[in-house]
Amino acid sequence: MPVGDSQTIGSAGEHTWRYRMWQHLRETYDGPFALVGPRETLYDKATDAPTSYEYADPDPAFPRAHLAGWGEGWLHMAPLIGEAVRSCRADVLLVSLGLIDLGFYTNAEQTAENVRGFVAEARSANPRVRIVVLPVIPNVRAESDEPFGAQVTRFNELLAKTVADLDEPRSPLLLTSPPPSYDINLDTYDGTHPNASGEHKIAEAFAEAMYQAWDLGEPYAA
């Protein structure tokens, strides 16, 4: 189950990193799998609502399911994740959250507490759920707004500690490396949201973490 904010839900006309991950697993994972989640749509900038089904590739085989929302963060997903895991029978969560929390709702310490709440709720629904977490990718605001950039750096430090504290054998919690060579000037279309190359790099970060830690799939080849 992909879980995330605007970088994960994507907007009309995009492939999304979810699609890139699906392509990768379809080609490298030797076994049945599905992307699951209670939502399917993209965000539509014209209507300012998550109402679009206009993916860049209309491949009918692509499982569009996810739990992602434009402007949603750990604060918003923590109360939803238990029911989503339970109803969709999710075994693995691929989580990319935090930028929106730090930008509008909570500081680094408060956001880290919401991570703990999220993990607890997910495990209450599936005690053996595996969770892979992406660090917050700095965006154009983090480069231009020094206090905000400091909060991003601080949260990523707290996130690493939280993951280490909460990791357990029956329900592994894994922190990915930052997306390889991610450059907001080359891998986004607006300083925040990934373009095609950014989508591949986010998918690669998740894929490489799962391959190295759990031998799931193979090394990512964009």
Please give the average per-residue pLDDT across 75-89, as a whole number.
Answer: 98
Reported confidence tier of residue 106, pLDDT bands at 50, 70, 90: very high
Long-range contacts of 164-170 (CB under 8 A, 24+ apart): 166/116, 166/119, 170/127, 170/128
Residue 180, pLDDT > 90, answer no
CB proximity list for 23: less than 8 A, separation 6 or greater: none
Q: Where are the beta strands (DSSP E) in the chain?
A: 2-4, 42-44, 49-52, 67-68, 92-96, 130-133, 173-175
Please give the average per-residue pLDDT across 91-96, as a whole number.
Answer: 98
Residue 44, pLDDT > 90, answer yes
- 111, with CB counted inside 10 A (0-12, 13-18, 19+), is buried
Reported confidence tier of residue 29, pLDDT bands at 50, 70, 90: very high
Please give the average per-residue pLDDT across 157-182, as a whole number.
Answer: 97
Please give the average per-residue pLDDT across 81-101, as a whole number.
Answer: 98
Please list the residues that pair with 173 across neighbouring strands.
131
Q: What is the pLDDT of residues 117-153, one digit of tens each?
A: 999 999 999 999 999 999 999 899 999 999 999 999 9
Reported confidence tier of residue 58, pLDDT bands at 50, 70, 90: confident
Reported confidence tier of residue 112, pLDDT bands at 50, 70, 90: very high
